[in-house]
Amino acid sequence: MSRIETADVVVIGAGIIGAASAEALSAAGMRVLVVDRGAPAGGTTAGGEGNVLLSDKAPGPELDLAVASRRLWPELIESLRAELGDEVARVEWEPKGGLVVATDEDAVGPLSILAEAQREVGVEAVDLSRDEARAMEPHLTDEVAGAVHYPGDAQLQPVLAATAMLTAVRARGGEVRGWTEAHGLVFDDAGKVAGVRLGDETIACGAVVNACGPWAGHFSVAAGAPIEVLPRRGMVLVTAPLPHVVGRKVYAADYVAAVASSDVDLQVSAVVESTATGTVLIGSSRQRVGFDEALQVEVLRRLARSAVKLFPVLAGVPVMRTYGGFRPYTPDHLPVIGADPRFAGLWHASGHEGAGIGLAPATGRLLADLMCGREPEVDPARFRVDRPAVIAEVRT
């Protein structure tokens, strides 16, 4: 395929959000070029656990987006399978449900209040006793004080999912370029976006989407329209393959508070789940350290201890490897999705922090709806670019 010199839309960033945005825009008939400073699906997406969660979100705009995405994921996978074939669209989709566990009485009340609020907006959340929780997950600690089962939680393999969507973009006449950095925008005499600079090359286009994940703040500065998206680091432990130990995504009740925290200091909360290959993924940590990639052994120790507290059977299990990545964090913990009011033709889709996998298809659909002038399913108001928490001087 020849290289694109002119596109309807250039999407900057080939992670799960950029891929979903490009897929939705190409499905709407647009010719899309996707570029990434590294390997496609190789940044934050490659470090993700593949969570598609309803359980960790309180009623509000993010849960609305998550509910829409949870409905869209199976539909999108089936559509990609029909278009590309079973092998290309194999994304290891597992609608296995989630279990949130309180290991002390003080955590039971807040967990029950959250579950009741979620039920009021249509999320299936089933309160469980200690015995019911342990019947569902036999290897769970016997110190369970209470639990909630979320049948709607799911998991997929994020690199496979992003790759399938990017393959669809190519099949529809678009292009995906890795190892290609965008350095800034080109404007016409009216101040509208007319192109994007890629090294010595300029691609003419009618719109640019900033889907750079944790680097979205940096690109926004280069584009002349800064938004407040910052990196928040996380680490994951991967055990050696095991016999069946964990059937669902299981996490401690304090995980929700860690997700919502704006604290710069390290936040650790137990998140444990098995993969299709038998390995067990252990998270979750959150830490604002800029783009510092230095391995911190204490973070790994705290992750391991928190996992053993939930599943004592994991004590002594070999850790095969560890990996980390940077989540795109916004100060108000909401994604940035929509048009930038400062420059016509500049759009943003970023700031999903650790929820990007789960929120991807609804984000892409919302962006395409707004760009095409269609009535969106999800109210875009709370995700707008011009809210005070987002339009601000980017901190360094």
pLDDT digits (tens, 9 = 90+) for 149-169: 999 999 999 999 999 999 999
Write the single-letter amino acid at 353: E
pLDDT of residue 277: 87
Q: How confident is the model at residue 91 (pLDDT cuts 50, 70, 90)?
A: very high
pLDDT of residue 2: 66
Structure tokens at 33: 């070029």
pLDDT (average), residues 5-21: 97
pLDDT (average), residues 112-118: 97
Structure tokens at 337: 């999705």
Q: Does the structure show a pLDDT above 80 at 260?
A: no
Using one digit for the tens of pLDDT, what is the confidence trace for 177-213?
A: 999 999 999 999 999 999 999 988 999 999 999 999 9
Q: How confident is the model at residue 255 (pLDDT cuts 50, 70, 90)?
A: confident
pLDDT of residue 351: 98
pLDDT of residue 114: 96
pLDDT of residue 48: 86
Q: Which CATH number fits domain 98-151+230-329: 3.10.105.10, 3.30.9.10, 1.10.150.120, 3.30.360.10?
A: 3.30.9.10
| pTM beyond cutoff 0.75 | yes
Domain residues of the chain, as ranges? Answer: 6-76+158-228+333-383, 98-151+230-329
Q: How confident is the model at residue 396 (pLDDT cuts 50, 70, 90)?
A: very low
pLDDT (average), residues 214-226: 95
pLDDT of residue 395: 44
- Percent pLDDT > 70 in the chain is 97
Q: Does the structure show a pLDDT above 70 at 128?
A: yes
Q: How confident is the model at residue 263 (pLDDT cuts 50, 70, 90)?
A: confident
- Percent pLDDT > 90 in the chain is 87
How far is C-alpha 39 from the geometric centre of its chain's CA atoms? Answer: 17
DSSP-derived secondary structure letter, 47: G
- If you search the block for the tokens 């928190």, which residue do you land on? 306
Q: How many residues does the chain have?
A: 396
User: Which of 304, 291, 287 is CA-nearest to residue 238?
Assistant: 304
User: Biggest alpha carbon distance in the chain?
Assistant: 69
pLDDT (average), residues 85-98: 95
Write the single-letter amino acid at 199: G
Structure tokens at 253: 């009740």
Q: Does the structure show a pLDDT above 60 at 1?
A: no
Distance CA 355, CA 367 (A): 17
Structure tokens at 88: 């290309």
pLDDT of residue 361: 98
User: Which of 284, 238, 291 is CA-nearest to residue 257?
Assistant: 284
User: Which of 146, 55, 41, 48 is CA-nearest to residue 96?
Assistant: 55
Contact 355, 66 (CB under 8 A): yes
CATH superfamily of 6-76+158-228+333-383: FAD/NAD(P)-binding domain (3.50.50.60)
Distance CA 25, CA 6 (A): 15
Phi and psi torsions of 206, nearest 5°: -95, -15
Same fold, 6-76+158-228+333-383 and 98-151+230-329: no
Looking from the CA of 387 toward its CB, the CA atoms found within 13 Å total 20
